[in-house]
Amino acid sequence: MEAPIEPIIELRDADIPRLYAVTAAPIIQDVQLKISRGDFWAIGAFPGTGKTDLLYTAAGLQRPLKGKHFLFGKDTARMHEEELVDMRLKIGVVFDTGRLFGNLTVAENLALPLAYHFHLPAEKRLQTVEKVLQAVGLTEIANERSAQITRNLHQRVGLARALALNPEVLLIDNPLLSVDPRQARWWLEFLCDLNTGRTPLRKEPITIIVASDDLRPWTDTARQFAFIKEKSFHLAGDRESLKAVQEPILRDLLMAFD
């Protein structure tokens, strides 16, 4: 009999803190979440209800106020800081604004973490940056300063920077917010290719968790769904189960812009 496969990310009875909060009151309580290798999750929530805070906690960028958090089967509360830093490198986080250094070029934004984390020589950094930018279709803006490119490309550059570190998991915050239909299609198709290992960057599937204000675009792409309601995290199941859920907030998230 085969041993059960450990989730690569697990939150167990976890209270999620609000980012940069001065109080210890949780924004989401008692979260139960297991992310398995190869999953594609879409987590829906309206602005200000904790989806970004949840992603940060799941990635190990902040600790839950209570409960357990596991990364690749290991309890993060038992990890030394160096071990936790190494574990985080397997997880790429794509922030909603991209969080780029405006005084650096697009290429330099990608090269910086390669130098800092992996100490790659300049030639190797250049090869990696060129390969990633080509894969995400941003070669033409490689030498433009981040402050000079349009805001709706910032998160795409942030995705490229995360991919340059060759993560096993991607957590992406609201990637379709304020993008035009053409770019939205690019995101959906590219993330699907990443999840199924159909890109030149990585042949193995990348596990993906997306948080979104609108679940509608993800119903044909993601395979597991959840939503946040009144400080509670709720599983909605797979695509077929999603259709049967009658929760009003979930129905709203599935027709957010109708």
pLDDT in tens, 61-83: 999 999 999 999 999 999 998 89
Q: Kindly indicate the confidence band of residue 245, based on its pLDDT and cuts at 50, 70 and 90.
A: confident
Residue with tokens 């309206």: 46
Supply the pLDDT for residue 178: 85
Q: How confident is the model at residue 255 (pLDDT cuts 50, 70, 90)?
A: confident
Residue 1 has what pLDDT?
A: 47
pTM, entire model: 0.94
Residues 1-12: pLDDT tens digits? 455 678 999 999
Is residue 258 predicted with pLDDT exceeding 70? no
Residue 223 has pLDDT above 80, yes or no: yes
At the topology level of CATH, where does 11-253 sit?
Rossmann fold (3.40.50)
- For residue 105, give the nearest of 144, 161, 67, 157 by alpha carbon: 144
- Where in the chain are the domains? 11-253
Region 192-197 average pLDDT: 96
Q: What's the rounded mean pLDDT across residues 102-125?
A: 96
- State the pLDDT at residue 228: 97
Cβ(104)–Cβ(146) under 8 Å?
A: yes
Checking if the pLDDT of 254 tops 60, the result is yes
Task: Look up residue 144 and give its DSSP letter.
Answer: S
Give pLDDT, residue 22.
Answer: 63
Query: How many whole angstroms separate alpha carbon 19 and alpha carbon 52?
Result: 8
Q: Tell the burial category of 211 from Cβ atoms under 10 Å away from its Cβ (0-12, 13-18, 19+).
A: buried
Res 203: pLDDT: 85
Flag whether pLDDT at 192 surpasses 90. Answer: yes
The continuous run of DSSP H or E covering 28 comes out as strand 26-35
**pLDDT value of residue 50:** 96
pLDDT digits (tens, 9 = 90+) for 146-185: 999 998 899 999 999 999 999 999 999 999 998 999 999 9
